[in-house]
């Protein structure tokens, strides 16, 4: 529980028989007269207390330090979480004349620190009686003092009463004299004022007619100005509504284009999944080829190199697919940025509409104020007719009203200026909207160019595959009728004279590998039969259809001068562009792409027999 305790600290000096100083501390409660605890600390007791509790203060400075701690507790007592607390701890459950300890505690989030702990003894019956007697003595002295003060105040009040009564009688006499004088003076003044009022009435009527004419003219002018401003605002509102409709239509068109792009993206993802499945099937076929190559111990080294080449081409195609995905992600990010910018512009338009509405509300308030002023003028005119005695005050009021009217006119002019400023802001916002629309159109054009590039690449791949399908049966027949090795393999054609260097298909690699055996063992008998080897060649030719591109297709395109629908700007090098890696070396032949490259990006002329990878790595 919490109590308010009175702490009395006295420094007692005893000189009989030895000069000593004792510190007496007494705890009392003003509500409970039997609550009394005493503590007397001598210099010897303080030394033991100092050694027990680790105090750093001498006996002479201890009372002041104890008082400082108590003052800090008083300052913190009204707070919810006080820093300093004064705890009275008893061993018994209630304060039943048992020794208690008074602790000065400092609280922090980590620990409760006790700065000082003093043990108090309960007061005996004699001490309690002495304490109660002292309290009675003090109360009696206070009572005597209060009685003396009461007597003095009563005497003072009686004196003041008598004096005020005398002054009242004198003032009443003076009042009677003043009343008589005032009546005579008012009769004289009323006669004078009656004459002045007749003259002032005539003047007021003339001024009233003048003010009415002026007021009607001003009213007509204000009404004409107000109608003009309302018409201008209505025209402005209609224009803004038309602009808002155009913007909403453009937004819907943008949403439709975004949906089309999403559909195209899903189609491209499906194509990527199909390409991945084809790659998996090709890898499975490569594993079967590796198993067969292990069976043939003589052909192991060269077949492993060819399989590595095939895997590299597959990885290049995977990289190309990943890069096309990155391009699509970049276009989607641009689309999101554009959508956010359009939303911000719409919010800004809504804010402008809100400002226009607030301005119209302010205009309505101004009209209401003008109407109120007109009503005030009517009331003033009626007061002029009824109360002719207050003509001077009415002239002052009219002057004030004229000042208010001038203020209102100034405010209306300021409102017109603010309206012009808002119109300028709306024009600036329209220019910003036009800039954002141009940016949207540029982004759409970029998306169209990206789609054209993708369609061009798809056409190239489809044309190459069709050319391969058409040329593969004819080449197989011609190779069968040409020079045949003892193992049933055609000889390797030489392309060094033409200067064309392309990736070699697995079928051609297999034919090339069998040439040395033919030259070394010209008339030797081969233990391998022709039928299984030809079936193996057919398998290899099927596997090579997805990776090789014949040079005849490029030569035909070069002779015809077909630029395949692409301008030279799509082959310029940019920091954010995607390199054409992953395509086969046939499509990246420098002589084939030379007409489409700009002057700076064209490679130097290639000598005969040099590979195209020297100019287009990867």
Give the CATH number for residue 67. Answer: 2.170.210.20
What angle is formed at CA 600 by the lines to CA 594 and CA 602, rounded to 5 degrees?
Answer: 20
- Average of per-residue pLDDT across 99-111: 87
Say whether pLDDT at 518 is over 60. Answer: no
pLDDT of residue 160: 92
Say whether pLDDT at 147 is over 90. Answer: yes
Nearest-angstrom CA–CA distance, 334 and 169: 100
First to last CA, the chain: 87
Query: Does 405 fall in a domain?
Result: no
Domain that holds residue 84: 5-123
Lowest-confidence pick of 9-23, 64-78, 196-210, 534-548: 534-548
Mean pLDDT of the chain: 76
Of all residues in the chain, what percent carry a pLDDT higher than 90? 13
Query: Does 64 fall in a domain?
Result: yes
3-class SS at 60?
coil
- Return the closest-CA partner of residue 279 out of 574, 543, 517: 543
pLDDT of residue 532: 39
Lowest-confidence pick of 254-258, 324-328, 362-366, 391-395: 391-395
Query: Does 29 fall in a domain?
Result: yes
- Average of per-residue pLDDT across 86-92: 81
pLDDT digits 0-9 by tens, 281-330: 888 888 887 777 677 767 777 777 887 888 888 888 888 888 888 888 88
pLDDT digits 0-9 by tens, 406-456: 888 888 888 888 888 888 889 889 888 998 898 998 989 999 999 999 999
Query: Does 48 fall in a domain?
Result: yes
pLDDT digits 0-9 by tens, 563-572: 444 455 544 4
Could you identify the residue written with the tokens 């750093």?
A: 56
Give the C-alpha distances (Å, rounded to integers) separating 549 from 106, 195, 282, 383, 562: 89, 125, 17, 108, 18
86-117 CB burial, b ≥16 within 10 A, e <16? beeeeeeeebeeeebebbbbbeeeeeeeeebe
Contact 112/130 with Cβ under 8 angstroms? Answer: no
What angle is formed at CA 446 by the lines to CA 443 and CA 447, rounded to 5 degrees?
Answer: 90
- Average of per-residue pLDDT across 501-517: 41
Quick one: tokens of 517? 């055996």
Lowest-confidence pick of 155-169, 231-245, 545-559: 545-559
Lowest-confidence pick of 112-121, 385-394, 516-525, 603-612: 516-525
Say whether pLDDT at 558 is over 80. Answer: no
Nearest-angstrom CA–CA distance, 464 and 451: 20
Nearest-angstrom CA–CA distance, 115 and 86: 10
- Return the closest-CA partner of residue 504 out of 537, 555, 550: 550
Q: Is the dihedral of CA 268, 270, 271, 275 positive or negative?
A: positive
Quick one: tokens of 466? 């069709």
Q: How confident is the model at residue 475 (pLDDT cuts 50, 70, 90)?
A: low
Nearest-angstrom CA–CA distance, 100 and 121: 7
- Average of per-residue pLDDT across 449-467: 91
Query: Does 168 fall in a domain?
Result: no
Query: Does 346 fall in a domain?
Result: no
- Return the closest-CA partner of residue 81 out of 47, 59, 105: 105
pLDDT of residue 549: 36
- Average of per-residue pLDDT across 170-176: 90
pLDDT of residue 94: 63
Helix, strand, coil percentages in the chain from 3-state DSSP, rounded to 5: 70, 10, 20
Over its C-alpha atoms, the chain yields an Rg (Å, rounded) of: 56
Say whether pLDDT at 543 is over 70. Answer: no
Q: How confident is the model at residue 95 (pLDDT cuts 50, 70, 90)?
A: low
pLDDT of residue 93: 67
Query: Does 44 fall in a domain?
Result: yes
Query: Does 135 fall in a domain?
Result: no
pLDDT of residue 67: 92
**Number of domains the chain contains:** 1
């Amino acid at each position: 529980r919490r109590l308010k305790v009175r702490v009395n600290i006295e420094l007692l000096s005893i000189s009989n028989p030895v000069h000593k100083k004792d510190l007496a501390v007494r705890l009392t409660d003003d509500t409970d007269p039997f609550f009394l605890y005493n503590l007397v600390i001598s210099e010897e007791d303080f030394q033991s207390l100092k050694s027990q509790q680790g105090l750093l203060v001498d006996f002479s400075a201890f009372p002041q330090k104890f008082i400082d701690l108590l003052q800090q507790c008083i300052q913190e007592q009204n707070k919810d979480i006080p820093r300093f607390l004064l705890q009275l701890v008893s061993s018994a459950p209630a304060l039943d004349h048992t020794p208690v300890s008074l602790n000065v505690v400092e609280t922090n989030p980590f620990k409760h620190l006790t700065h000082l702990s003093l043990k108090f003894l309960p007061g005996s019956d004699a001490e309690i009686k002495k304490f109660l007697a002292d309290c009675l003595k003090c109360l009696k002295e206070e009572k005597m003092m209060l009685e003396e003060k009461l007597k003095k105040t009563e005497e003072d009040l009686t004196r003041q009463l008598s004096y005020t009564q005398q002054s009242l009688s004198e003032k009443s006499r003076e009042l009677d004299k003043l009343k008589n004088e005032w009546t005579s003076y008012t009769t004289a003044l009323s006669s004078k004022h009656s004459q002045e009022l007749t003259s002032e009435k005539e003047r007021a009527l003339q001024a009233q007619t003048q003010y009415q004419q002026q007021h009607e003219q001003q009213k007509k002018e204000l009404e004409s100005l107000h109608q003009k401003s309302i018409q201008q605002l209505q025209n402005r509102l209609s224009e803004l509504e038309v602009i808002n409709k155009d913007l909403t239509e453009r937004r819907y068109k943008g949403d439709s284009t975004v949906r089309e792009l999403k559909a195209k993206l899903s189609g491209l993802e499906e194509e990527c999944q199909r390409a991945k499945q084809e790659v998996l099937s090709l890898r499975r076929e490569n594993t079967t080829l590796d198993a067969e190559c292990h069976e043939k111990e003589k052909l192991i080294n060269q077949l492993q190199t060819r399989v590595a080449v095939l895997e590299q081409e597959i990885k290049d195609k995977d990289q190309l697919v990943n890069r096309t995905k990155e391009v699509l992600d970049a276009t989607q990010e641009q689309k999101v940025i554009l959508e956010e910018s359009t939303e911000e512009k719409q919010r800004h338009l809504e804010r402008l509409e809100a400002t226009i509405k607030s301005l119209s509300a302010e205009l309505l308030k101004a009209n209401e104020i003008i109407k109120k002023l007109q009503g005030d003028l009517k009331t003033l005119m009626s007061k002029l007719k009824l109360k002719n005695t207050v003509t001077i005050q009415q002239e002052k009021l009219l002057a004030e009203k004229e000042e208010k009217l001038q203020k209102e006119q100034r405010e209306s002019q300021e409102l017109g200026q603010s309206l012009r400023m808002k119109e300028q802001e709306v024009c600036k916002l329209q220019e910003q909207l036009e800039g954002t629309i141009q940016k949207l159109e540029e982004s759409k054009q970029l998306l169209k160019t990206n789609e054209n590039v993708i369609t061009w690449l798809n056409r190239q791949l489809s044309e190459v595959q069709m050319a391969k399908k058409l040329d593969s049966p004819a080449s197989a027949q011609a190779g069968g009728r040409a020079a045949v090795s003892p193992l049933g393999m055609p000889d390797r054609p030489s392309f060094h004279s033409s200067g064309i260097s392309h990736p070699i298909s697995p079928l051609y690699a297999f034919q090339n590998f069998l040439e040395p055996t033919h030259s070394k063992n010209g008339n030797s008998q081969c233990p391998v039969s022709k039928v299984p080897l030809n079936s193996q060649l057919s398998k290899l030719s099927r596997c090579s259809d997805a990776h090789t591109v014949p040079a005849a297709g490029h030569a035909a395109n070069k002779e015809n001068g077909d630029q395949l629908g692409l301008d030279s700007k799509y082959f310029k090098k940019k920091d954010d562009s995607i390199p054409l890696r992953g395509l086969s070396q046939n499509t990246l032949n420098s002589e084939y792409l030379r007409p489409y490259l700009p002057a700076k990006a064209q490679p130097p002329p290639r000598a005969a027999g040099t590979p195209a990878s020297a100019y287009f790595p990867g």
